[in-house]
Amino acid sequence: MNSQKPVLKAKAIHKAFYNPALVQILKGVDLTIMCGDTVAIMGRSGEGKSTLLQILGTLETACSGYLEIASQTVNNFNKSKIRNKNLAFIFQSFHLLEDYTALENVLMPASIARSNISPGSPAYNRACQLLEKVGLDSRKHFNTKLLSGGEKQRVAIARALCNDPDILFADEPSGNLDKQTSQYIHELLLDFAHNQGKALILVTHDADLAAMCSRRFRLCEGILVAE
Ligand SMILES: Nc1ncnc2c1ncn2[C@@H]1O[C@H](COP(=O)(O)OP(=O)(O)OP(=O)(O)O)[C@@H](O)[C@H]1O
Ligand SMILES: [Mg+2]
Protein backbone atom coordinates (compact mmCIF):
# COMPACT_ATOMS: atom_id res chain seq x y z
CA MET A 1 0.00 0.00 0.00
CA ASN A 2 1.20 3.56 -0.81
CA SER A 3 2.92 5.04 2.25
CA GLN A 4 1.22 8.44 1.67
CA LYS A 5 -2.28 6.96 1.79
CA PRO A 6 -4.40 7.10 4.97
CA VAL A 7 -5.04 3.59 6.18
CA LEU A 8 -7.43 4.72 8.91
CA LYS A 9 -9.61 7.80 9.32
CA ALA A 10 -11.71 8.36 12.43
CA LYS A 11 -13.90 11.42 12.85
CA ALA A 12 -15.93 12.65 15.81
CA ILE A 13 -15.91 9.31 17.62
CA HIS A 14 -18.17 9.42 20.68
CA LYS A 15 -18.63 6.64 23.20
CA ALA A 16 -20.64 6.39 26.39
CA PHE A 17 -21.55 3.42 28.59
CA TYR A 18 -25.00 3.48 30.19
CA ASN A 19 -24.79 0.58 32.63
CA PRO A 20 -24.60 0.57 35.63
CA ALA A 21 -24.28 4.37 35.35
CA LEU A 22 -23.70 6.83 32.53
CA VAL A 23 -20.01 7.24 31.74
CA GLN A 24 -19.04 9.42 28.80
CA ILE A 25 -15.68 8.10 27.65
CA LEU A 26 -14.92 9.55 24.20
CA LYS A 27 -16.16 13.02 23.33
CA GLY A 28 -15.19 13.54 19.70
CA VAL A 29 -11.96 11.78 18.78
CA ASP A 30 -10.43 12.57 15.37
CA LEU A 31 -7.46 10.61 14.05
CA THR A 32 -5.93 9.97 10.64
CA ILE A 33 -3.26 7.29 10.32
CA MET A 34 -1.02 6.83 7.29
CA CYS A 35 0.65 3.58 6.24
CA GLY A 36 3.98 3.36 8.04
CA ASP A 37 2.86 5.53 10.97
CA THR A 38 3.79 4.28 14.40
CA VAL A 39 1.38 5.82 16.87
CA ALA A 40 1.50 5.79 20.66
CA ILE A 41 -1.64 6.57 22.66
CA MET A 42 -1.00 7.45 26.28
CA GLY A 43 -3.18 8.67 29.12
CA ARG A 44 -4.19 7.97 32.70
CA SER A 45 -5.86 4.73 33.70
CA GLY A 46 -9.58 4.80 32.94
CA GLU A 47 -9.40 7.59 30.33
CA GLY A 48 -10.66 5.23 27.62
CA LYS A 49 -7.52 4.18 25.73
CA SER A 50 -8.51 0.51 25.44
CA THR A 51 -12.07 1.51 24.50
CA LEU A 52 -10.72 3.78 21.74
CA LEU A 53 -8.38 1.07 20.44
CA GLN A 54 -11.26 -1.41 20.36
CA ILE A 55 -13.45 1.05 18.44
CA LEU A 56 -10.68 1.84 15.93
CA GLY A 57 -10.15 -1.91 15.57
CA THR A 58 -13.91 -2.55 15.00
CA LEU A 59 -14.15 -4.76 18.09
CA GLU A 60 -16.41 -2.24 19.82
CA THR A 61 -19.03 0.07 18.30
CA ALA A 62 -18.98 3.84 18.79
CA CYS A 63 -22.19 5.67 19.78
CA SER A 64 -21.56 8.04 16.88
CA GLY A 65 -18.79 9.02 14.50
CA TYR A 66 -17.19 7.92 11.27
CA LEU A 67 -14.58 5.22 10.73
CA GLU A 68 -12.81 4.39 7.48
CA ILE A 69 -10.23 1.61 7.14
CA ALA A 70 -8.26 0.83 3.98
CA SER A 71 -10.54 3.20 1.98
CA GLN A 72 -13.74 1.49 3.15
CA THR A 73 -16.33 3.09 5.40
CA VAL A 74 -16.81 0.65 8.27
CA ASN A 75 -20.36 -0.53 8.89
CA ASN A 76 -22.06 -3.48 10.57
CA PHE A 77 -22.04 -5.48 7.35
CA ASN A 78 -18.37 -5.21 6.39
CA LYS A 79 -16.62 -4.85 9.74
CA SER A 80 -15.79 -8.51 10.40
CA LYS A 81 -14.41 -8.90 6.90
CA ILE A 82 -12.29 -5.74 7.30
CA ARG A 83 -11.13 -6.95 10.73
CA ASN A 84 -10.04 -10.32 9.37
CA LYS A 85 -8.35 -8.97 6.24
CA ASN A 86 -6.81 -5.68 7.34
CA LEU A 87 -6.38 -5.66 11.12
CA ALA A 88 -4.54 -7.55 13.83
CA PHE A 89 -4.41 -7.24 17.62
CA ILE A 90 -1.95 -7.82 20.42
CA PHE A 91 -3.19 -7.64 24.00
CA GLN A 92 -1.42 -7.36 27.33
CA SER A 93 -2.61 -10.82 28.35
CA PHE A 94 -1.67 -12.52 25.04
CA HIS A 95 -5.07 -14.22 24.35
CA LEU A 96 -3.52 -17.40 23.00
CA LEU A 97 -5.18 -20.81 22.86
CA GLU A 98 -3.09 -22.45 25.58
CA ASP A 99 -3.79 -26.08 24.61
CA TYR A 100 -2.60 -25.50 21.05
CA THR A 101 0.99 -25.28 19.88
CA ALA A 102 2.71 -22.02 19.00
CA LEU A 103 2.49 -22.96 15.32
CA GLU A 104 -1.23 -23.82 15.56
CA ASN A 105 -1.86 -20.45 17.24
CA VAL A 106 0.00 -18.57 14.52
CA LEU A 107 -1.96 -20.47 11.86
CA MET A 108 -5.32 -19.69 13.50
CA PRO A 109 -6.09 -16.51 11.46
CA ALA A 110 -5.25 -18.34 8.23
CA SER A 111 -7.46 -21.21 9.34
CA ILE A 112 -10.33 -18.78 10.10
CA ALA A 113 -9.80 -17.22 6.65
CA ARG A 114 -10.12 -20.81 5.29
CA SER A 115 -6.66 -20.86 3.75
CA ASN A 116 -4.87 -24.15 3.26
CA ILE A 117 -2.70 -24.61 6.38
CA SER A 118 -1.29 -28.08 5.71
CA PRO A 119 2.51 -28.55 5.97
CA GLY A 120 4.20 -27.03 2.92
CA SER A 121 1.31 -24.66 2.13
CA PRO A 122 2.16 -20.92 1.77
CA ALA A 123 0.37 -20.14 5.07
CA TYR A 124 2.25 -22.92 6.89
CA ASN A 125 5.60 -21.76 5.52
CA ARG A 126 4.83 -18.15 6.43
CA ALA A 127 3.86 -19.15 10.00
CA CYS A 128 7.16 -21.04 10.36
CA GLN A 129 9.09 -18.03 9.02
CA LEU A 130 7.30 -15.68 11.44
CA LEU A 131 8.07 -17.94 14.40
CA GLU A 132 11.68 -18.03 13.31
CA LYS A 133 11.68 -14.21 13.00
CA VAL A 134 10.47 -13.81 16.58
CA GLY A 135 13.13 -16.28 17.76
CA LEU A 136 10.84 -19.22 18.52
CA ASP A 137 11.76 -21.78 15.90
CA SER A 138 12.70 -24.26 18.63
CA ARG A 139 9.35 -23.79 20.43
CA LYS A 140 6.93 -24.05 17.53
CA HIS A 141 5.58 -27.46 18.53
CA PHE A 142 5.22 -26.57 22.23
CA ASN A 143 1.75 -25.94 23.62
CA THR A 144 1.70 -22.25 24.47
CA LYS A 145 0.84 -22.96 28.14
CA LEU A 146 4.44 -24.20 28.43
CA LEU A 147 5.93 -20.90 27.23
CA SER A 148 7.18 -17.92 29.24
CA GLY A 149 5.34 -14.57 29.16
CA GLY A 150 7.77 -13.01 26.67
CA GLU A 151 7.60 -16.11 24.47
CA LYS A 152 3.79 -16.02 24.54
CA GLN A 153 3.80 -12.39 23.45
CA ARG A 154 6.17 -13.25 20.60
CA VAL A 155 3.75 -16.00 19.48
CA ALA A 156 0.95 -13.40 19.64
CA ILE A 157 3.01 -11.08 17.42
CA ALA A 158 3.70 -13.85 14.89
CA ARG A 159 -0.03 -14.70 14.91
CA ALA A 160 -0.94 -11.03 14.39
CA LEU A 161 1.37 -10.83 11.37
CA CYS A 162 0.22 -14.12 9.83
CA ASN A 163 -2.48 -12.57 7.60
CA ASP A 164 -0.26 -9.61 6.64
CA PRO A 165 -2.49 -6.92 8.21
CA ASP A 166 -2.39 -3.23 7.22
CA ILE A 167 -2.77 -2.09 10.83
CA LEU A 168 -1.49 -3.71 13.98
CA PHE A 169 -3.22 -2.65 17.22
CA ALA A 170 -1.38 -3.30 20.47
CA ASP A 171 -2.85 -2.62 23.92
CA GLU A 172 -0.03 -2.40 26.48
CA PRO A 173 1.86 -5.17 24.66
CA SER A 174 4.68 -5.26 27.20
CA GLY A 175 2.65 -4.43 30.31
CA ASN A 176 3.34 -7.87 31.84
CA LEU A 177 6.96 -8.24 30.81
CA ASP A 178 10.37 -7.33 32.22
CA LYS A 179 12.29 -4.35 30.81
CA GLN A 180 14.64 -6.34 28.56
CA THR A 181 11.87 -8.50 27.08
CA SER A 182 9.71 -5.38 26.62
CA GLN A 183 12.51 -3.77 24.64
CA TYR A 184 12.69 -6.81 22.36
CA ILE A 185 8.89 -6.84 21.85
CA HIS A 186 8.94 -3.10 21.01
CA GLU A 187 11.70 -3.59 18.48
CA LEU A 188 9.74 -6.38 16.78
CA LEU A 189 6.61 -4.22 16.54
CA LEU A 190 8.42 -1.12 15.25
CA ASP A 191 10.45 -3.21 12.83
CA PHE A 192 7.20 -4.62 11.39
CA ALA A 193 5.82 -1.14 10.76
CA HIS A 194 9.04 0.37 9.40
CA ASN A 195 10.15 -2.47 7.16
CA GLN A 196 6.78 -3.32 5.72
CA GLY A 197 5.16 0.13 5.54
CA LYS A 198 2.35 -0.95 7.89
CA ALA A 199 0.71 1.09 10.63
CA LEU A 200 1.16 0.36 14.32
CA ILE A 201 -1.25 1.87 16.86
CA LEU A 202 -0.35 1.10 20.41
CA VAL A 203 -1.55 2.02 23.85
CA THR A 204 1.23 2.28 26.37
CA HIS A 205 2.19 3.72 29.73
CA ASP A 206 5.85 3.29 28.76
CA ALA A 207 7.36 6.69 27.85
CA ASP A 208 10.44 5.03 26.29
CA LEU A 209 8.26 3.01 23.93
CA ALA A 210 6.16 6.07 23.08
CA ALA A 211 9.35 8.01 22.30
CA MET A 212 10.27 5.39 19.66
CA CYS A 213 6.98 5.97 17.79
CA SER A 214 6.67 8.52 14.99
CA ARG A 215 3.52 10.12 16.49
CA ARG A 216 2.33 10.47 20.09
CA PHE A 217 -1.10 11.33 21.46
CA ARG A 218 -2.60 11.71 24.92
CA LEU A 219 -6.22 10.83 25.63
CA CYS A 220 -7.50 13.30 28.17
CA GLU A 221 -11.13 13.89 29.18
CA GLY A 222 -12.43 12.16 26.07
CA ILE A 223 -10.31 14.08 23.55
CA LEU A 224 -7.17 12.89 21.79
CA VAL A 225 -4.42 15.52 21.79
CA ALA A 226 -1.17 15.31 19.79
CA GLU A 227 1.98 15.68 21.91
N1 LIG B 1 -18.66 -2.26 29.20
C2 LIG B 1 -18.49 -1.21 30.04
N3 LIG B 1 -19.52 -0.74 30.75
C4 LIG B 1 -19.37 0.33 31.59
N5 LIG B 1 -18.21 1.01 31.74
C6 LIG B 1 -17.14 0.58 31.05
C7 LIG B 1 -17.22 -0.55 30.15
N8 LIG B 1 -16.00 -0.72 29.60
C9 LIG B 1 -15.21 0.25 30.11
N10 LIG B 1 -15.89 1.03 30.98
C11 LIG B 1 -15.37 2.19 31.72
O12 LIG B 1 -14.76 3.05 30.77
C13 LIG B 1 -13.60 3.66 31.32
C14 LIG B 1 -12.46 3.53 30.32
O15 LIG B 1 -12.04 2.17 30.28
P16 LIG B 1 -10.77 1.72 29.44
O17 LIG B 1 -10.57 0.28 29.71
O18 LIG B 1 -10.96 2.13 28.02
O19 LIG B 1 -9.61 2.61 30.10
P20 LIG B 1 -8.05 2.66 29.84
O21 LIG B 1 -7.68 4.07 29.51
O22 LIG B 1 -7.66 1.62 28.86
O23 LIG B 1 -7.45 2.31 31.28
P24 LIG B 1 -6.14 1.45 31.71
O25 LIG B 1 -4.94 2.35 31.44
O26 LIG B 1 -6.34 1.21 33.16
O27 LIG B 1 -6.10 0.18 30.89
C28 LIG B 1 -13.36 3.01 32.66
O29 LIG B 1 -13.71 3.93 33.67
C30 LIG B 1 -14.25 1.80 32.67
O31 LIG B 1 -14.78 1.56 33.95
MG1 LIG C 1 -6.61 -0.20 29.00
Q: How far apart, in whole angstroms, are the C-alpha atoms of residue 158 and residue 164? A: 10
As to burial, measured by CB atoms within 10 angstroms (0-12 exposed, 13-18 middle, 19+ buried), residue 143 is middle
* CA-wise closest residue to 189 among 158, 227, 149: 158
Q: Which ligand neighbours the alpha carbon of 54 most closely?
A: 1
Average pLDDT over residues 105-113: 91
Q: What spacing in Å lies between the alpha carbon of 65 and ligand 2's midpoint?
A: 21
CB-hemisphere CA count at 13 Å for 217?
25
pLDDT reported for residue 195:
87
**Mutate-to-test residue for ligand 1 from 50, 176, 221, highest number of ligand atoms within 8 A of CB:** 50
The correct CATH number of 6-226 out of 3.30.750.24, 3.40.50.1010, 3.40.50.300, 1.10.10.10 is 3.40.50.300
Q: What is the pLDDT of residue 3?
A: 52
pLDDT tens sequence across 18-57 = 999 999 999 999 999 999 999 999 999 999 999 999 999 9
Query: Across the chain, where does the E strand assignment appear?
Result: 6-17, 23-34, 38-42, 64-69, 72-73, 87-91, 167-171, 199-203, 215-220, 223-226
- Return the pLDDT at 177: 81
Q: What pLDDT, in 10s, does the model give residues 63-94?
A: 999 999 999 999 999 999 999 889 999 988 88
Amino acid identity, position 46: G
Residue 165, preceding bond cis, omega within 30 degrees?
Answer: no
From the CA of 52, which ligand is nearest? 1
CA of 175 to the centre of ligand 2 (A): 10
Query: In this structure, is the dihedral angle defined by the CA atoms of residues 101, 134, 189 and 2, taken in order, positive or negative?
Result: negative
Please tell me the residue having the least CA distance from ligand 1 atom 28.
Answer: 46
Ligand 1 centroid distance, CA of 90 (Å)? 18
Gyration radius from the chain CA atoms: 17
Report residue 108 CA to chain centroid gap.
Answer: 16
Could you tell me how far CA 72 lies from the centroid of its own chain? 19
Quick check: 210 and 183 in contact, CB under 8 A?
A: no
| Rounded (to 5) percent helix, strand, coil in the chain | 35, 30, 35
Strands 87-91 and 6-17: unpaired
Q: Which atom of ligand 1 lies at the shortest distance from residue 172's CA?
A: 27
Q: Among the atoms of ligand 1, which is closest to the Cα of residue 205?
A: 25
For 161-172, the pLDDT digits (tens) are 988 899 999 999
Distance 225 CA to ligand 2 centre (A): 17
Measured in Å, residue 39 CA sits from the centre of ligand 1 at 20
Residues 50/222, Cβ–Cβ less than 8 Å: no
CA–centroid distance, 115 to ligand 2, in Å, is 33
Atom of ligand 1 nearest to the CA of 47: 21
Q: Which residues line ligand 1 (CB under 6 A)?
A: 17, 23, 25, 43, 45-51
pLDDT tens for residues 89-103? 998 888 999 999 999
pTM of the complete model: 0.92
